[in-house]
Amino acid sequence: MSIDQLKDRIPDFAKDVRLNLASMMADETLSSQSKYGLLLASAIASRNPIVTAAMETAASVVMTPAAVEAAKSAASVMAMNNVYYRFVHLASNPEYKTMPARLRMNWLGNPRVDRADFELWALAVSAINGCGACMDAHEKALRQAGVSSDAIQTAVRFAAIVQSVAVAIEAAGRCTPQAAE
C-alpha cells in the first residue's frame, strides 16, 4: 500500500489528519533518510498494521535495507526503554533510579546509520510512547549533535501525525485484516 492509498483510507471526520499527512509528505525540513525513518519508526510505534505497511513500503523505496532495519530497531528498542524508564521516572520509590537497567541496547551504541537520524527516530517513538525521561535524553543528544530545534520539533510533529493517522483509521473501523490487503 502506498501513502496515497493510506490517505484515501482516512475518513472525512479526520480531514485535518489527511491534510496534515499530505503536508508532512511535502515537508523538506529533514533528509529523506531522516524523514522516512521517522515515518517507519513512528508507524511501528502506532501498532497499526495498515499504517506500518504503507510507511515501510515508502521507506523501502528511499532508504537502504540497513537503514530500514535501523528504523525498526529504534522502534523496538525504544518500546522496551520507554516502558522501563517511564516506570523509573514515575515510581515514587527513588531506589529504582539507582538500580542498573540490565537491558540490552546495542543498537543505541552502534545504530549503523547516522547517529542523529537514529536519535530522531528514538525521540519520535518516545514521544508516541509518552516517556519523558527518554524524550529528554534523546533531545539532549540531538542538541549536542547540532540538530536544530526546528528539526527536532518536525520529528515530533511527524510522530504526532503518524499516530493520528493510525487512530483515525482505527476509529473508522478500517483496520481489519482484509483492509490491510
Active site residues: 131, 134
C-alpha cell at 164: 493520528
